[in-house]
Each structure stands twice: as C-alpha cells, then as structure tokens.
Structure 1
Amino acid sequence: MYYLMGLWESIRDFMATGGDVLLFVAVTLFLMWSLMLERYMYLRVVFPKERKRIIAAWDAREDTTSWYAQRIREAWISQANEKLTARMTIIKTLVAICPMIGLLGTVTGMISVFEVMATMGTSNARLMAGGISMATMPTMAGMVAALSGVFFSARLAGQLKIARETLVDSLPHH
C-alpha cells in the first residue's frame, strides 16, 4: 500500500512540475492506450470467433466458384477487415498529436519563464528554473507517449494485417 502511495505522490509531483499541459498528455496517452488495448483484445478474443464464423459460412456454401459467390467472399473479407482496422486511424492520430501537445507545453513553459523575467528580472534563477522545467517536462512526456504509441500501433497494424491475410487464405476461391 505504501508503495502505491509513493507511486501516486511521484506521479502527482511530476504532473505539478510539468504544468497543466501534462494533464492533456496524460489524457491523450490514456485514450490511445485504451484504444490499443481494445484492438488487441478484439484481435485475440473476438476476431477468432468471427473468423471461424466466416469460414464456416463459406464452407457451408454449395457455390464457391461463381462470380456472385466471389463477390460475397470479398464482401465478407471487407467487412472483417473493417472491423479489424476500426479505430486504427484514431490511434495513429493520437500518436501524432502527443508530440504536438508536448510542444504546447514547451511554449507555455517558456511564456512562464518570460513572465518571471519580465516581473522579477533575470536574477531569480529559482523561478526561471521552474518555468524551464514546465517547458521541458511536457515535451519529454509527449515524446515518450508518442514513441510508445508508434511502436505498439505499428506492431498492432502488422498483426491486424496478418489476421486479415490469414482470413483471406482460409477462404479458398477457385
């Protein structure tokens, strides 16, 4: 329990050091990871059942060679692909937005530094350091969030592509 309390205090201190923009980075990161975890769960739990259902429906068809049957096959593959790749555009957009939010933190932190310099002069190094910290922390957090998102969303996209191709290979056309 003490470990969790210490962890929470560390996170709270980090968020306070980086300013309000870190909250936007955290919300974006949470949303991005929630969507990616949902896609991983769909890929591992729901899609295998969907795949079996489509293969069973295809195998149950008497006609698999006609033009009409091939269009049905393509429609089923297209529908499955649409379900597989749902929300991937949102995930990729969130990954791309993370560094931009971090840069927003840089700008707000530098504005804070300039305000301190304008009101207190350049002699108050402690206040200037706080503003510089507010400038660098969101940038770092945004970049870390984006890097984790880039790696895992690319891996997820590859797994989704393999799942689609496996489905296509499982529905033979003559």
Structure 2
Amino acid sequence: MAVWIQNQTLGLANIIHSGGMVMGPLIALSLVMWLLILERTLFFRRLYRKNMGSRMAITHIRDGRIPDPGQYRGAVSLLVTEFIRTRTGNPKLDRHLLDASVSRINRRMTKFLALISVLAAMAPLLGLLGTVTGMITTFDVLATFGTGNAKAMAGGISEALITTQTGLIVAIPGLYMKGFLERRATNLQQRISRVGLYLRRHL
C-alpha cells in the first residue's frame, strides 16, 4: 500500500512538473473553489435539517421564544431567531424589521456563489494559457533544433495538453456544483420569503 501511494505521489508530481508554471495557479484555484463549495454545501445542509413550520414559527414569535437549536436548526428557525432579536414590539416597525431580516438571510444564501462561478470559469482559461505557453515552448525548440530534438518537443506538447486537461477537470465539476448550490439557494430563498409573508400577515 505504501509503495502504491508513493508511486501515485511521484506520478502526480511528474504531471504537475510537466504542466509547467500554469499548474501552480490552477491547483491553488481548484483548492479555493472546492473549499468554498464545501462551506456552502455544509451551510445549506444545516438549513435543510430540523426545519420548523410556519405555525410553529408564529407561535415562537408570539411567545418571544428563540427556537431551541437542538430541536430546530433550519432556515425558518434562523429567520425567527434573527427577527426575535431585533423586534421592537411596534407592529408597523416590526414588519419592516421582518422584511429586512428576510432580505439579509436571502443574501446570505448566495454568498460565495458568484466567486465559485468566476473560479470555475477561470480554470479553462488558465488551461488555455498553459496551451499557449506549451506551444511557444514547442516552437522555440523547432526554431533552435528543428525536428531533431523530439524529447524537447514532447515536453512542450505535454505541457499544452496537461494544462488544458487540468483546466477542464477543474471547471466541469465546479460549474456543476455551482448550479447545484444555486438551486438549493433558490429553494431556501423561496421558503424563507413564503414564511416571511406568512409571519407578516400575523404580526
């Protein structure tokens, strides 16, 4: 097992080295993107679990009772908790505060999604940059040695292909996850907006 891991590590190191200078930024971009995706995935997972209904929400608001985190952790619970902490007791003002709470929470749903989209879109562009630098290397070898140095030519071509491949490998799942997270964010925003309208009518 240790030998296999060592071989895989060496193989990966060789691929990164063969990809040239563009591989470093590509790897960094990929790490940042996936950390943001993981953060959003865990955030949405928490908001989908242990949710409360609209009637339970209005009961907590009328009693001035912040939901128990052990019983309720979902998006509606987050809205109820934030509203109870900011309410004044004035129904007219409280309706505005409720609307502000709904808007604030809905904005939190889309946090980092635009950045994830930008990073996923940048990956194939960096891969294309690697393609260009690899072809430049190949043409430099051709200009210097002609077709007599096949090894140097292969290095430039492999740099071009590896960076293109890596850019697509980073971008495709990144764009898929961005769409997946956007759908979950939209569902939660719609749920919070519906509950917000229900609570507004009963304040």
- Match in the other structure for 1:8: 9
Structure with higher RCO (Cα < 8 A, 6+ apart): 1
Of stretches 45-54 and 114-123 in structure 1, the one that deviates more from structure 2 is 45-54
* Amino-acid identity (%): 28
Aligned length: 173
Equivalence for 1:32: 33
Aligned counterparts of 2:105 and 2:14: Cα–Cα separation in 1 = 45
Residue in 2 aligned with 1:42?
43
Matched letter for residue 3 of structure 1:
W
Larger Rg: 2
CA deviation after TM superposition for structure 1 residue 54, in Å: 1.7
Pairwise CA RMSD of aligned residues?
A: 2.5
Residue 71 of structure 1, aligned match among 87, 96, 114: 96
Cα deviation, residue 47, structure 1:
7.7
Measured after TM superposition, the shift of residue 31 of structure 1 is 0.7
**Deviation readout 1:113-158 (Å, 9 max, x if unpaired):** 0111111112222221111111111011101211111101110111
TM-score, normalized by length of structure 1? 0.87
Cα distance between partner residues in 1 of 2:187 and 2:102: 13
Q: Specify the SS of the correspondent of 2:111.
A: coil
Q: Residue 154 of structure 2 corresponds to which residue in structure 1?
A: 129
Equivalent pair of 1:109/1:132 in contact (CA under 8 Å): yes
Deviates further, 124-133 or 137-146 = 124-133
Instruction: Report the TM-score when normalising by structure 2.
Output: 0.75
1:69-125: CA deviations, max 9, x gaps? Answer: 432222111111122211111111101111110011011101110111111112222
- Structure 2 unaligned spans of 5+: 50-72
How far, CA to CA, are the matches of 2:40 and 2:158 in structure 1? 35
Give unmatched runs, 5+ long, in structure 1.
none
